[in-house]
Amino acid sequence: MLVAILAGGEGQRMGGGKPQRILGGITLLQRAIGRVRSWKYEPVVVAPRDLATDCETIRDREGIAGPLAGLAAACDVARPRECDHLLLLACDMPFLPEDIPARLAGGIGEGTKCAMVRSGGRDIPVCSLWNVAALANALPDYLTGDDRSLFGLANMLGYMSVEWEGGGRDAFFNINTPEDLTEAEMRLS
């Protein structure tokens, strides 16, 4: 399995540079890398530009906007490495649970080529597991259409939502504003 961390969001509501924002003494990106390494995987970071990091960084696929550019670039790396699955994560979710890889893997089968986290009544496409062969086969046709969303691609491939109970705390809380960053700091302390 290839684990790809999306670090391409501009973070305009935060004043820019979201992956490099500090939470608990380390950047959001380094926190995401640490979480993936705690699962015993070595991630690749996907971004539209070079970022200072201690792991492999790849560029978003050109000509595509948003998270789909990161997924396409990660697929371009996963396929020649003969990875069966691609786990896609966003760098701005600092509280991801330990069981994501195993639980999402249980959601992929004959009729489903993608498993997506569902939390708080919503599907989270930037926290999803994809069958690499199916993804690589579907991307060329999907990219000729008007829909450029991860959700649309997952829908086309057939996906399963994998429900997480928050126990009062949203494990998939993402940081988009300075207020979100402050809330995350309070959760850490």
- The model's pLDDT over 81-135, given as tens digits with 9 standing for 90+, comes to 999 999 999 999 999 999 999 999 999 988 899 999 999 889 999 999 999 999 9
132-142 vs 67-78: helix axis angle to the nearest 10? 130
Residue 162 near residue 115 (C-beta atoms within 8 A): yes
Mean pLDDT, rounded, of the chain: 92
User: Has residue 23 been placed in a domain?
Assistant: yes
User: Has residue 42 been placed in a domain?
Assistant: yes
- pLDDT exceeding 70 applies to what percent of the chain? 95
Q: Which of 15-29, 52-66, 72-86 has the highest mean pLDDT?
A: 72-86
Quick one: average pLDDT of 44-58?
Answer: 90
Structure tokens at 167: 């126990």
Name the pLDDT band for 53 (thresholds 50, 70, 90).
Answer: confident
pLDDT at residue 72 tops 60 = yes
Q: Residue 111's pLDDT is what?
A: 84
Q: Residue 167's pLDDT is what?
A: 57
User: Has residue 188 been placed in a domain?
Assistant: no
Q: Residue 184's pLDDT is what?
A: 94
Angle at 63 between CA 60 and CA 69, to 5 degrees: 35
**Which element (helix H / strand E) includes 159?**
strand 159-164
User: Has residue 6 been placed in a domain?
Assistant: yes
Name the pLDDT band for 166 (thresholds 50, 70, 90).
Answer: low
> Which residues 6+ apart lie within 8 Å of 31 measured at CB?
23, 24, 91, 94
The CATH number of the domain where 142 resides is what?
3.90.550.10
User: Has residue 11 been placed in a domain?
Assistant: yes
Q: Residue 11's pLDDT is what?
A: 67
Question: Based on the structure, what is the number of domains in the chain?
Answer: 1
Q: Residue 12's pLDDT is what?
A: 67
Q: Which domain holds residue 151?
A: 2-183
Q: Residue 29's pLDDT is what?
A: 95
Structure tokens at 137: 């086969």
Sheet architecture: strand order including 85-90: 57-59, 44-47, 2-6, 85-90, 122-131, 114-119, 159-164
In eight-state DSSP terms, residue 81 is: T
